[in-house]
Structure 1
Amino acid sequence: MPLSERSLVRGYTELEIQYSPSGWVVRRGAEETLRTYSQIGDEATKRAQAARGSLLHVPYGDRERERLDIYFPEDESEALPFFVFFHGGYWQSGSKDSSAFMVSPLTAQGVAVVVVSYDIAPKGTLDQMVDQVTQSIAFVQKRYPCNEGIYLCGHSAGAHLAAMMLLANWTKHGATPNLKGFFLVSGIYDLEPIMHIPENEALLMTLEDAQRNSPQRCLEVALTQPVDAACPVLVIVGQHDSPEYHRQSREFYQALRRGGWKASFEELDDLDHFEIIWNLTQKDYVLTQMILKTIFQES
């Protein structure tokens, strides 16, 4: 029986099926996949904290979860590229403390890595999360003004938050970051469908909230052009992400192109919603190599 038929028997709606990433995994069951994802994240973070110079739990604001971890390469300098990562978890789970997947392979190549926490629902609203992400990036810019570029990456809900930075208003944060690239991995860019699934019970999103915080809609109504039209935006999805994740990614990529951004679309073969990010622990992984080639401007 196909996944959608199995889920409908259990009383799921088609929309719930499409926005349930763990239901589309192909090599493990949903529970084992989520357990493996958490375990790999925990282990990668512990290794990162033990192996290299780092600054942990650095406050970028006054709230309890307004903290970030900074991991440095051996050649520690302020004049480094900074890779800033925002975790997923449907805006209501996840933490920087189990999300340092990419630290080892990136710091080994001379890239500083910043992993950010933010207030998750129900404590945090979407507006607060977007503001916190903006604040965290401005903090990195002000702390390391000689950086060689800030590269934003988000996974799932984190990709949504990173995408909101494309048209962020930096004025009130007192710093315009030196943004040089975006890596948006298996993200959601139109939030209206989320209003109609159980995940919205914690988010309490209204239609106005969804529209205001949808990167897809913000791009379509934006009157401004990219500050740097050469800044690459990679929209990335796994082959085994659900059809809705594919649709959202492709339509957002198309909106970026219409808006004048230097966007590309990548479907990574034989990967699901979780493998696509946990494989960043590997230096030879295709996405790791994409990130390094973008940062170091290799063709």
Structure 2
Amino acid sequence: MSVLAEEANWPREVLDRDYGARASVTPEVFEAAMRDYRSRSEEMRSHATHVDVVYDEPSGQTIDIYGTGATPRPVFVFIHGGYWRMLSKQDSAFMAAMLAKQGIATAVVDYRLAPEVSLDEIVREVRAAIGFLWRTGKDYGIDPDRIHVGGSSAGGHLTGAVLSSGWHEGEGVPEDVIKGALPISGLFHLAPIANSFVQDWIKLDAAAAERLSPAANIARVGCPIVVAYADGEPDGFRRQSTEYDRLWREAGFASELMQIPGRNHFDVLLDLATEDTVLSKALVRLIKG
């Protein structure tokens, strides 16, 4: 059993505290980060090379693509967070300019939110986005053999979901479709989450929590990853990142665990907007190999 699975038996008030990301900062700090996400992303949107590309016909969900050139480029697929119930690709493009300078494209994914749809459906949609880029990426200036993925918080969980085993055949993609990943402040075992305040909208039963937990479904074919978290994280997010890094390495794959100093759960992600931060350098290094 994963260490994280044992947390499911902890008192609700402890789990609420340890996974209360918003409660870990003041309202002013949280609201400032949300404004930064949106304003910096809106600055980038006019520079997108492809906007509102439908990647999944059943759901109608779309991606925006940035930074493509004359020849196919490696791509960083960014999956937003928001505890699976808020934010969108409109808030999530601020790393695109930094990556474009390095010859790297960015694809920002939208997915439907809870409680409108289940977490099973959210995971299916994000995996469909990867399948779409692998099959049609060259039409949009993307090299399908150099797909990298990352996300923050719930987006870190969804990054783990596309790293997990068991879904590739259904999407018609190879098991090594992902060449590198950067989950930030992610959630990798969902049993504790299902016993916290998040259950109010995510509605996970025990089987779904196990099925959708990246920590319980480590890939058979892995890739290098960087597991990052802020030094101002609530304790649950710290434990999740540390344990996922351990499990990935235990499976025989390369993982680097990074604690980002001077950052909290929300503003750590903004380090990807500029090229001189530890986090952005780690991402570029991961993609360029």
Scaled by the length of structure 1, the TM-score of the pair is 0.86
Partner residue in 2 for 1:4: none
8 Å contact from structure 1 (residues 106, 112) kept in 2? yes
Partner residue in 2 for 1:143: 136
Closer, same or farther: CA 53–192 of 1 in aligned 2, 3 Å: closer
Partner residue in 1 for 2:182: 183
2:164 maps to 1:172: no
Structure with higher RCO (Cα < 8 A, 6+ apart): 2
Partner residue in 2 for 1:271: 263
2:90 maps to 1:90: no
| Structure 1 residue 23: Cα displacement | 2.3
DSSP 3-state at the match of 1:85: strand
2:55 maps to 1:60: yes
1:95-244 equivalences in 2 (<5 Å):
95-145=88-138, 146-147=143-144, 149-166=146-163, 167-176=165-174, 178-219=177-218, 225-226=220-221, 229=222, 231-244=223-236
| Structure 1 residue 198: Cα displacement | 2.1
Tell me the C-alpha RMSD between the 2 structures: 1.7
1:38-53 equivalences in 2 (<5 Å):
38-50=34-46, 52-53=47-48
- Counterpart CA distance in 2 for 1:267 and 1:151 is 21
Runs (5+) with no aligned partner, structure 2: 1-11
- Counterpart CA distance in 2 for 1:212 and 1:178 is 21
* Counterpart AA for 2:61: E
- Counterpart CA distance in 1 for 2:51 and 2:79 is 15
2:245 to 250, 253, 272: 253
Post-superposition Cα deviations, 1:50-94, rounded to whole Å, max 9, x if no partner, equal 2x2421111011245511111124x343x2101000000111111
How many residues align? The count is 272
Partner residue in 2 for 1:3: none
Runs (5+) with no aligned partner, structure 1: 1-11
Closer, same or farther: CA 53–211 of 1 in aligned 2, 3 Å: closer
* Counterpart AA for 2:95: M
Bigger CA radius of gyration: 1
Identity across matched positions, percent: 28
Partner residue in 2 for 1:81: 74
Closer, same or farther: CA 56–211 of 1 in aligned 2, 3 Å: same
